[in-house]
Amino acid sequence: MLDLIFDNLVGILLASLAAIVVAGAWYSPIAFGKIWQKEAKIKDKELRGGSPVKYIVALVMILLTAVILQQAIIVVDPQNMFEAASIAVWIWLGFIVTYVIAGGLFEKVSTKLMLIDLTGQVFILMAMSATLYAFWA
94-132 per-position pLDDT tens digit? 999 999 999 999 999 999 999 999 999 999 999 999 999
Task: Please list, in sequence order, all residues whose beta carbon lies within 8 angstroms of the beta carbon of residue 127, skipping any fewer than 6 positions away.
Answer: 15, 18, 19, 21, 22
pTM exceeds 0.85, yes or no: yes
Distances (CA, A) of 2 to 24, 51, 106: 29, 30, 38
For 10-36, how does the pLDDT look when each residue is reduced to its tens digit (9 = 90+)? 999 999 999 999 999 999 999 999 999
Give ∠ CA 128-129-135 in degrees, rounded to 5: 90
C-alpha span between 131 and 123 (Å, rounded)? 12
C-alpha span between 128 and 126 (Å, rounded)? 5
Q: What one-character DSSP code corresponds to residue 79?
A: S
